[in-house]
Structure 1
């Protein structure tokens, strides 16, 4: 670990840095949609994970940008997490990454150049694991450390997995366990032990490369990744875009064991509260859902798992694919049904 605590140099960390959903909606409300581009298959209309532009009958380019401030103090781990998180948006569209560019903002008067170099090296290592080059980027002198990627990928136009194509009766499958925001809050307070840190790094640096294969499955109707808005926030994007409701059972949601213990002790992030304030009116909680469980479902995930809506008949194949590719916690957490964009949560 570096002697300089990266997390002490920023006011937030990881995907918890995101602007709250309600505030973002207000910002975007009066901006015009990008019309007049028939080859733009996915733009800003559905709050999806990346833009998709058709190049020809067999190829579309997937383009996304993602960056944030440190969620951990180790510079190499920070770079790995930020890069893994950025590439996830390409996988969430069913795409295959082909190229990345670095987005770098560093307080060069506060950080030794060796630390900055370690952050960038972490990103390079993840891109190498994904089989793509980190081919350039842009850097600025900034008051807080910022790192991420511009990520580009390819996908067949017929295999793009949007977040607004769910169907009534679809089952919902989550690929990674929840709890990253809770672990990050404990880390910042000095309450996270070595086991908890290892769990955090394990999940945040696991590439969601399974998304490419999921894009080829006709039984998968909608897909997104769970990041800063928490599971409920990104599930609501699927529900609103698809014009459906969802039913969710907390007991079926995979959670990181260390984070579960911390949540029961009251550890939570401020972003979880901001998330709930943004979309809580669209969520119906059963009376036996505890306060800490609600916060868990709003917990901002950094480099979180893929959330898949698929035909019930294909759920077994989807789960098998997740498990074969190393996502051992993947499981069914609920289903979509007729409705108008809300979520009901059972304990």
Structure 2
């Protein structure tokens, strides 16, 4: 007798709850546990359309909420300060990884896809670890968060280019020009709509007392713009991100976040579970030599971004090293890009993400100790206490 879809959905949500609770207890990123759950349940859930659709909603809402944090003014301010480190990151983490993959004999498209997988630091894992280890007030945190923002701006474009390249046929320079034109057009559309149609959107939200209507409106905007991106053969991730930017100009984005956040929190774990169901290990780990090479280079690249980029950002050598050791995890964006792969490349990408996330988490937790081992413990500054009347 076949298990009803409703029963299966309920059991998956209960397992997600248990794994989320477990991750808090053992201080382990829940993203990895969700992917492992998907791998274990692959046989039962691989072709589950309900899970696939729910996972799409989760990832769209994640990037919609991310886009809400970036109004045009803020984007400009961050770009002025972080762009040297940001482009260094693109060159080392994406460019060199792509060259290494191509040198191992893979084609240009596959090399670019794997380069995309190795590029972006996990925002969710890094932000969670910063909070869990009480390092939010550290000097390197602003640099880390600015770099994550830069990566979050570049990665959707990488996804869109990969989707365009994977649409079939030869990808000529004119195709790249058309693709960039679509991206620019979609972005300009979001900016124009944000400055015109949604300029007084906050007033409309204040008039809506019923939360049901508000949820339908906001999630409808996110899904519609994400769907428009898909219609243009771009990524729904990019569309959702631009939809967030479109609403970022309103006065109080907290009202939007409070409405959408519970739905995102429910749906997003299903994306990582679904991704896990698409990984098939078959006869073992494919291209082990390339995997080990890219894992090693991925760690070196992020360390260099922290050490060199941190100095360019204005940090000391000690703080720059600590930053580099804290940005080695890969997560949600890598999963998004890996989901576009097929066959052994998807298995390869899945293994890379799991290993890089685990090693990155360990390096993050040990970053202060490693820094002290190299530079010695920082000397505490003596406070000159003035005695009254002296």
TM over 0.5: no
Alignment TM class, shorter chain as reference: under 0.3
Richer in strand (by share): 1
TM-score, normalising length: structure 2: 0.23
TM-score, normalising length: structure 1: 0.25
Q: Which has the larger radius of gyration?
A: 2
Q: Structure with the greater relative contact order (CA < 8 A, sep ≥ 6): 1 or 2?
A: 2
